[in-house]
Amino acid sequence: MRLAVLISVLSVLVFLACNHSESINSGGQPAIVPDPVIRFDLFWDSLVVDSGMIRKDQTLSHLLDNFGIGAGKVATLVANSREVYDVRKMRGGKRWWVAAERDTSKTPVWLIYERNDIDYVVFSLKDTLGARLGSYDVDTIYRSVQGEITTSLYVDFERLGVPTNLSIAMANVYAWTIDFTHVQPGDAFEAYYFRKRVNGKYVGMPTILFCSFNHHGIDLPAYRFDQGDGPDYFDPQGESLRKAFLKSPVEFSRISSSFNKKRFHPVLKKVKAHLGTDYAAKTGTPIQAVGDGVVTKSSYTNGNGKYVKIRHNNTYETQYLHMSKRLVSVGDKVRQGETIGLVGSTGLATGPHVCFRFWKDGKQVDHRKEKFPPSTPVRDKNMKAFAKEVMRLEAEAGKECD
């Protein structure tokens, strides 16, 4: 019994010793000394700290020169740190702290550079001269939201007290499926997502785990799943919500003229930028939409002849010129591979072909040089794991909504 009591007393004393330091105050009573403040794995209250923001075009050398650290020492620090962090990646607007010993010399011994809201670099300014990477503690907060469109996704999220950048995250999920500038009142939505919280504030974009959008009466669920290629979003059948474009708008054709900003125009007889790709084919050959979208123009001009323009999402648009016949009208929704017109030679054309033009973020680009997102479906070997993940996400989303 005595041994048990002695062990218990010793345990309490060890606990107190590990968690507090004691000193004697003026009244002769023990005074509790609070635990030291630790930041960046350093005893912060034992240091004298200056801080600020990296100015535009300010280098590490410029920053440390203000604290009496010369070019030679900086060069050694850069060289020793290169494998951990390349200081050329430091950017204006990021926070820094320079910490000095709390003595008469006030010699700087640490530089901390905040890379982003979560990650930082600690540079040792002592004789060791090097760097290590660190990260703040991150809390992950899970939430669900349900509702109907009354005005817009952004405004309705704001009305529901949901982070408005969740609307951007959802628009990215459905970038190939829904044009969120044309949603309508009565469209319904739900989302199960998480946010990261660092130092008491939310950082970065919300990450959607499951969402569904009812657009024009059609449910469009999406599930986040990683089958080894990085996270992507899939429908319940395991098809990717990302859609690849067809390589060309016509089958069995040849390229008669490429994208060229300095092409000599065969009709106008002068150098004129050709911001498209010509596919030669017989008159009447079907022209296909290279991706899902909405027809924004179906018209005629002297230069373009009969043409059709399609908006695929907020990023991409395509145009098809010199048709002999147009088969779609403005406002029509078209599917990838759907025939939208027939090859012809209307407008400024020397022979039957389709001039295919491609826009990215409002700028005409050569579609053959673009790298488009993958559209790989869930592979057969991963379908069981995907089905299990679908059930888990739906169950968790349901709990959040209860």
- State the SS3 of the chain: CHHHHHHHHHHHHHHHHHHCEEEECCCCCEEEECCCCEECCEEHHHEEEEEEECCCCCCHHHHHHCCCCCHHHHHHHHHHHCCCCCHHHCCCCCEEEEEEECCCCCCEEEEEEECCCCEEEEEECCCCCEEEEEECCEEEEEEEEEEECCCCHHHHHHHCCCCCHHHHHHHHHCCCCCCHHHCCCCCEEEEEEEEEEECCEEEEEEEEEEEEEEECCEEEEEEEECCCCCCEEECCCCCECCCCCCCCCCCCCEEEECCECCCEECCCCEECCECCEEEECCCCCEEECCCCEEEEEEEEECCCEEEEEEECCCCEEEEEEEEEEECCCCCCEECCCCEEEEEECCCCCCCCEEEEEEEECCEECCHHHCCCCCCCCCCHHHHHHHHHHHHHHHHHHHHHHC
**pLDDT reported for residue 174:** 87
Examine the pLDDT at 252 and tell me if it is beyond 70.
no
Highest-scoring range by mean pLDDT, 8-12, 103-107, 347-351: 347-351
First to last CA, the chain: 52
**pLDDT reported for residue 16:** 43
Q: What is the pLDDT of residues 322-376, one digit of tens each?
A: 999 999 999 999 988 899 999 999 998 889 999 999 999 999 998 888 877 767 8
Examine the pLDDT at 46 and tell me if it is beyond 60.
yes
**pLDDT reported for residue 3:** 41
Least confident stretch, 186-200, 216-230, 246-260, 308-322: 246-260
What is the pLDDT confidence band of residue 116, given thresholds at 50, 70 and 90? very high
**pLDDT reported for residue 367:** 85
**pLDDT reported for residue 267:** 52
Q: Tell me the average pLDDT across 368-397.
A: 89
Examine the pLDDT at 4 and tell me if it is beyond 50.
no
Which strands, in side-by-side order, build the sheet including 130-135?
Answer: 47-53, 95-101, 108-114, 119-124, 130-135
Tokens at residue 79, please?
């060289």
Examine the pLDDT at 271 and tell me if it is beyond 70.
no
Which own/partner pairs from 305-308 qualify as long-range (CB within 8 Å, at least 24 positions apart)?
A: 305/344, 305/345, 305/346, 305/347, 305/348, 305/349, 306/341, 306/344, 306/346, 306/347, 307/347, 308/340, 308/341
Q: Please give the domain boundaries of the chain with CATH numbers for all domains.
A: 38-135 (3.10.450.350), 139-234 (3.10.450.350), 254-369 (2.70.70.10)
What is the pLDDT confidence band of residue 274, given thresholds at 50, 70 and 90? low
What is the percentage of the chain residues whose pLDDT exceeds 70?
85
Q: What is the pLDDT of residues 286-306, one digit of tens each?
A: 999 998 899 999 999 999 999
More confident residue, 73 or 266: 73
**pLDDT reported for residue 284:** 94
Examine the pLDDT at 31 and tell me if it is beyond 60.
yes
Residues 6+ apart with CB under 8 A from 372: 244, 245
Compute CA distances 132 → 100, 152, 205, 233, whole Å: 18, 45, 26, 35
What is the percentage of the chain residues whose pLDDT exceeds 90?
55
Strands 138-148 and 130-135: unpaired
**pLDDT reported for residue 2:** 42
Compute CA distances 116 → 82, 121, 316, 328, whole Å: 19, 10, 30, 48
Q: What is the pLDDT of residues 171-216, one digit of tens each?
A: 889 877 776 767 889 999 999 999 999 999 999 899 999 999 998 8
Examine the pLDDT at 380 and tell me if it is beyond 80.
yes
Sequence letter at residue 105: S
Average pLDDT score, the chain: 85
More confident residue, 14 or 138: 138
Q: Tell me the average pLDDT across 138-148.
A: 94
More confident residue, 269 or 365: 365
Q: Tell me the average pLDDT across 315-322.
A: 94
